[in-house]
Structure 1
Amino acid sequence: MMPHPVVIKIGGALLDDEKAARQLMTRIKTLQQHRAVIVVHGGGPMVETMMTGMGLTSEKVDGLRVTPDAHMPVVCGALAGSANKQLCALAIGAGITPTGLSLMDGNMITCQAIASELGAVGQATPNSSVLLELLIGEQFLPVISSIGCSKNGRLLNINADQAATAVAQLMGAELLFLSNVEGVLDEHGQRLATLDKAQLASLVQTGVITDGMKVKTDAALQAALQLKRPVFIGSWHTDPEALLNATTGTKIQPEATKAGDNS
């Protein structure tokens, strides 16, 4: 029986660290030898750079970028264009055969706008796995940007964490959230191997988890609850297989952890 596929969500900031990006692609190639891999990516820094260059500004509400429809050509160009193709080029450099995609391709993910005040910002729902099954069956690496489309043809900007969760749901996959941090740390700076909802809430209440890490853990917990399986937070500097084996990073559990899991 083949193991579950692995969805690896990476932030656009990886593209600012070419050495780390090349190392990650090399590790993905190794992982592909026995696991199907799918990459889902964002690209916030690239969006910011392109918008600033065009004299455009935007704000965020609860971590979501307010995106007027008039800004979507820029957002699409950054995410589905520049970021996606740079990642595909890095994959080719590692000897991988990538396929650059967005959430709408193959009707894999259906999307709908969340709220009028957010503009062209949507939520993602799993729909059809046909295209991804065909691609991973032929050893391609799908590289999916977080650009979606509504049923009436409106382009939508999807939060990359939520996009990755929807793709993982679609494929019954393991989900890794990779960034430039090694995992969730305690008040002494030590990595916490496993966390559940109650433990995360306690760390937030005591001020141990704040700011960007709270955004990551909130997304990972939401994904774990939706997928009904652990979700992993770790660094793109480490081996994805080590994360899957819980020898590095932090495993976010959808249910209460057993006593001693973090000892």
Structure 2
Amino acid sequence: MVSALAELFTPSSRDFSVQEAIAKANTLIEAMGWIRRFRGKTTVIKLGGSLLEDKMALMHILLDVVFMESVGMKPVIVHGGGKAISNALAETGVEAKFIRGRRVTDAATLEVVKRVLAGELNEFLTEEMERLGGRAMNLSPHTTNVLFGEKLPTETDEDLGFVGHVTRVDRSVIEGLHYTDQVPIIPSMCEGEDGQLYNVNADTAAMAVAQSLGAEKLVFLSDVNGVRRDKDDSKSIIDSLSAEEARHLIDEGIIEGGMIPKVEACLETLGRGVRKVHIIDGSIRHSLLLEIFTTSGVGTEIHP
């Protein structure tokens, strides 16, 4: 009798599989509202730093991008590659130099940047996207360049060499790829009017692309989980901030150190037509999807 009752009230494996399927369906229903809201909208994703060295994290990021494109969003990837460049410089015996956090780029360094950033990394990301089932196109000085600019102005006693900033984005090429359901992948280099190439900070390159496209979102994939009330406590993350609140937190000293220029860059981007900026930890599995397609998100959203 006991065994018969136990069998009666113990869910079968089929019951478990049905419940799992229902849970998955509920997740899709939750995401549906966000999918409809952002369908046809552009999201610029800045990728770089340690994430490019973490193969598992990178795979999940690119899978998220494939999903975004599959449900009708228009993702654009802008990437840096500082660690890969430094490693390549070390192999060639060229010393890496920095001034105020920016890489000094002489002629020899520029050749390495062009080979690694605009060549090897850009091609790898494109091929990996397609291996995961997406469609992507690398846009670089080796293929079709879309970032144009000039030498970055600096103090009179500083010379960063061939370091530039973006002044114009060829948005027609990027938008053309979106019409054919391809994801543009853009390295952080720009070309001057005379054809000279320049190394560009990836954050500022992504900002320029987002502003030019009038993006719905600009997402900075970082190695921290967002803006925190206590920089040493990952649980003190602030889910959502208005521009006014962000300025107040900077004035109060709650936002400090290296987070200040990143948040200030977010505020500048909001002031130029981008609707929302996100700072998220790219090492969290499927962090892009969790931030965009769930109510709570996993990072910090900054809005006007």
TM-score, with structure 1 as normaliser: 0.86
Residue aligning to 2:190: 148
Aligned AA for 1:182? N
Pick from 8, 15, 19 the counterpart of residue 56 of structure 2: 19
SS at match of 2:94: coil
Aligned AA for 2:166? A
Q: 1:123 to 1:105 in 2, by over 3 A?
A: farther
Task: Tell me the C-alpha RMSD between the 2 structures.
Answer: 2.4
Residue aligning to 2:240: 194
Cα deviation, 1:79-138, whole Å, max 9, x if unaligned, reads 112221221232122111211112796563321101361211111123432211111111
Question: 1:146 & 1:207 partners in 2: Cα distance?
Answer: 31
Aligned AA for 1:41? H
Residue aligning to 1:260: none
Q: 1:84 to 1:212 in 2, by over 3 A?
A: farther
Question: 1:214 & 1:46 partners in 2: Cα distance?
Answer: 26
Aligned AA for 2:237? R
Pick from 117, 121, 129 the counterpart of residue 91 of structure 1: 129
Question: Which deviates further from its counterpart, 163-172 or 198-207?
Answer: 198-207
Pick from 181, 184, 189 the counterpart of residue 224 of structure 2: 181
Question: Which deviates further from its counterpart, 230-239 or 203-212?
Answer: 203-212
Shift of 1:28: 1.1
CA contact (8 A) 2:214 2:274 kept: no
CA contact (8 A) 2:140 2:146 kept: no
Matched, 1:46 2:84: yes
Matched, 1:243 2:285: no
Question: 1:160 & 1:103 partners in 2: Cα distance?
Answer: 16
Question: 1:62 & 1:110 partners in 2: Cα distance?
Answer: 24
Question: 2:143 & 2:266 partners in 1: Cα distance?
Answer: 25
SS at match of 1:227: coil
Aligned AA for 1:5? T
Pick from 251, 264, 282 the counterpart of residue 218 of structure 1: 264
| 1:53-68 alignment, distance < 5 Å | 53-68=91-106
Aligned AA for 2:80? G
Residue aligning to 1:261: none
Question: 1:36 & 1:72 partners in 2: Cα distance?
Answer: 31
Aligned AA for 2:67? T
Residue aligning to 2:153: 115
| 1:120-139 alignment, distance < 5 Å | 120-139=162-181
- CA radius of gyration, larger in: 2
SS at match of 1:91: helix
Question: 1:56 & 1:196 partners in 2: Cα distance?
Answer: 44
Cα deviation, 1:189-219, whole Å, max 9, x if unaligned, reads 4110123455445544665444443343233
Q: 1:93 to 1:105 in 2, by over 3 A?
A: closer
SS at match of 1:176: strand
Identity %: 30
Cα deviation, 1:127-171, whole Å, max 9, x if unaligned, reads 432211111111111110011110011110011111111111222
Aligned AA for 2:302? I
Question: 2:198 & 2:132 partners in 1: Cα distance?
Answer: 31
Aligned AA for 1:79? L
CA contact (8 A) 1:232 1:244 kept: no
SS at match of 1:115: coil
